[in-house]
């Protein structure tokens, strides 16, 4: 499956002879599994018709700020288009458009959309060889790269002028290959399945009461977002939290008890490559769950408890190729306890957070961790947002993941 599968691609077409190849580019992108919307400049319409492109893309093709044909939807909103896209590709990109993009000129829907787009932008220049070599074009491309855009280099060959040289737009399939390779390089976990747990578990006492804890689930949710951003297919098994997630790369499975978490985690574990247990799993549950609400009868009462399964230890005992990471929340002898858990549960790494550190632990937007690896590394990080902590944890995992000794 292509890394472009499921991606929303906004294709910008400008007025150059190579625009006729944009129709093939639309098809190649769709064949790779992307959905494609087209925005084109007025002059691009001299080279390829909007009808061809809308038929191939199965979306209306936009070129002006207003839409005279539909009185209920007169305004073509460049901001919405920019937000819709996972990536924008401008192919062909003429010298004129490249120069305007580099200088913030905004005299067409395509340019306004480019300026509004928050997604990665690729440009595929197409022009005659002398225009391509001209210092203004070179400067435009340099500036656009400095702004974070990616240039798909023009190819060498025969040009529309009859001259032979550099300046031909890269062929549509080469453009798709280039984008796929580029996306893969930025997504080191592409093709990998990552399992993450989050939140507390609730162990019922009776139909209205439970034993739980203060875990918000935020650390696990941030880890899931980071894993998805790195290209992984993510399964997030979460106990009860108020958090929501809308990310096509993340499959969220909500559970309530330690037993349910155990079952879901073991269902997915065999075909995952990385598993991180960030959940605060209850260690004990009531030995009997009352079928009816327990009535107040005596001055004191006891609830007999029994241990839950240690999910992480059970994963460690059946570990094959998985890179397995646990969390340790400690209040004393932190490093010692964490090292001992790493060994006892057969982990590749453990993330220690101490409740003694201000700003770390349950319910807080921040965390302060030490990453302890089986290879002996112990790296402490300063207090950071949980999103940043998730980034640090994955940086450490990626350093070791390929060379792991299980």
- Active-site residue numbers? 213
Kind and range of the H or E run holding 284 = strand 284-286
Residue among 39 and 349 whose Cβ is closer to ligand CTP: 349
Would you count residue 195 as binding ligand CTP (CB under 6 A)?
no
Running DSSP on this structure, what letter comes out for residue 171?
P
Indicate whether 311 belongs to the interface with ligand CTP (CB under 6 A).
Answer: yes
Q: Is-cis flag, bond preceding 92, omega within 30?
A: yes
327 part of the interface to ligand CTP, by CB under 6 A: yes
Identified binder of ligand CTP from the candidate list 279, 324, 349, 393, rule CB under 6 A: 279
- Binding residues for ligand CTP, how many (CB under 6 A)? 14
| Minimal distance, residue 281 CB to ligand CTP, in Å | 4
- Inter-CA distances, 70 with 67, 75, 76, Å: 6, 9, 10
DSSP 109-158: HHHHHHHH--S-EEEEE---HHHHHSHHHHHHHHHHHHTT-EE-PPEEEE
At residue 348, φ and ψ (nearest 5 deg) are -90, -30
Instruction: Lay out the site mask for ligand CTP across 336-365 (x = CB under 6 A, - = otherwise).
Output: -----x------------------------
Q: Is 250 in the site for ligand CTP (CB under 6 A)?
A: no
Instruction: Give the residue, chosen from 326, 342, 368, 393, that forms a contact with ligand CTP under the rule CB under 6 A.
Output: 326
Binding region for ligand CTP (CB under 6 A) out of 6-14, 70-78, 274-282, 286-294: 274-282
Binding ligand CTP (rule: CB under 6 A), the pick from 91, 123, 126, 312 is 312
Strand partners, 87: 9
Residue 36 interacts with ligand CTP (CB under 6 A)?
A: no
**Secondary structure (3-state) at 366:** strand
Minimum CB–partner distance for residue 189 and ligand CTP (Å): 20
Cβ of residue 205: shortest distance to ligand CTP, in angstroms? 18
How far, in Å, CA of 280 to CA of 287, rounded? 20
Q: How many Cβ atoms sit within 10 Å of the Cβ of residue 385?
A: 14
Q: Minimal distance in Å, beta carbon 197 to ligand CTP?
A: 6
Which distant-in-sequence residues (6+ apart) come within 8 Å of 267 by Cβ? none
* Angle ∠(207,210,215) on CA atoms, nearest 5: 140
Q: Which residues, numbered 209-248, are part of the site for ligand CTP (CB under 6 A)? A: none
Contact 63, 45 (CB under 8 A): yes
Shortest Å, Cβ 11 to ligand CTP? 45
Q: No. of H helices and E strands in the chain?
A: 13, 21
CA distance 382 to 310: 30
User: Which of 36, 176, 179, 277 is in the footprint of ligand CTP by CB under 6 A?
Assistant: 277
Q: Which stretch binds ligand CTP (CB under 6 A): 9-17, 77-85, 303-311, 398-406?
A: 303-311
Nearer Cβ to ligand CTP (203/233) = 203
Choice from 56, 329, 372, 397 touching ligand CTP (CB under 6 A): 329
Q: Which of 91-99, 185-193, 207-215, 308-316 is the region at the interface with ligand CTP (rule: CB under 6 A)? A: 308-316
- What are the tokens at 264? 């879901």
As beta bridge partners, residue 89 has: 11, 122
**Binding site residues, ligand CTP, CB under 6 A:** 258, 277, 279, 281, 283, 308, 310-312, 326-329, 341
């Amino acid at each position: 499956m292509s890394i472009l599968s499921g991606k929303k691609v906004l294709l910008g077409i400008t007025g150059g002879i190579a625009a006729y190849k944009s129709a093939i580019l639309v098809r190649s992108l769709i064949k790779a599994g992307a959905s494609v919307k087209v925005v084109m400049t007025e002059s691009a319409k001299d080279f390829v018709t909007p009808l061809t492109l809308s038929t191939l893309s199965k979306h209306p093709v936009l070129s002006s700020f207003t839409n005279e044909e539909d009185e209920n939807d007169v305004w073509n909103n460049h901001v919405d288009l920019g937000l819709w896209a996972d990536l924008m590709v401008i192919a062909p990109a003429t010298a004129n458009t490249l120069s305007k993009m580099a200088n913030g000129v905004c005299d067409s829907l395509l340019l306004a959309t480019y300026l509004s787009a928050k997604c990665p932008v690729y440009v595929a220049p197409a022009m005659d060889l002398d225009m391509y070599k001209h210092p203004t074009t070179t400067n435009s491309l340099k500036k656009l790269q400095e702004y974070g855009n990616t240039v798909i280099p023009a190819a060498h060959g025969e040009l529309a002028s009859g001259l032979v040289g550099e300046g031909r737009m890269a062929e549509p399939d080469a453009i798709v290959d280039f984008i796929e390779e580029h996306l893969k390089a930025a997504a080191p976990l592409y093709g990998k399945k990552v399992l993450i747990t989050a939140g507390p578990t609730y162990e019922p006492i009776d139909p209205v009461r439970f034993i739980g804890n203060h875990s918000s689930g935020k650390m696990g949710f941030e880890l899931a977002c980071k894993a998805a951003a790195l290209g992984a297919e993510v399964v997030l098994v979460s106990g009860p939290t108020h958090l929501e997630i809308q990310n096509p790369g993340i499959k969220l499975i909500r559970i309530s008890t330690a037993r349910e978490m155990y079952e879901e985690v073991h269902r997915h574990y065999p075909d995952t490559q990385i598993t991180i247990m960030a959940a605060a799993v209850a260690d004990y549950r009531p030995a009997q769950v009352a079928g009816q609400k327990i009535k107040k009868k005596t001055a004191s009462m006891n609830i007999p408890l029994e241990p839950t399964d240690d999910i992480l230890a059970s994963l460690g005992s059946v570990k094959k190729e998985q890179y397995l990471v646990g969390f340790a929340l400690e209040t004393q002898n932190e490093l010692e306890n964490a090292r001992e858990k790493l060994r006892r549960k057969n982990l590749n790494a453990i993330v220690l957070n101490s409740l003694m550190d201000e700003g770390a632990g349950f319910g807080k937007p921040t965390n302060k961790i030490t990453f302890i690896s089986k290879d002996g590394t112990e790296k402490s990080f300063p207090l950071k947002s949980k999103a940043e902590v998730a980034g640090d944890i994955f940086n450490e995992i990626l350093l070791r993941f390929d060379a792991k000794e299980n």
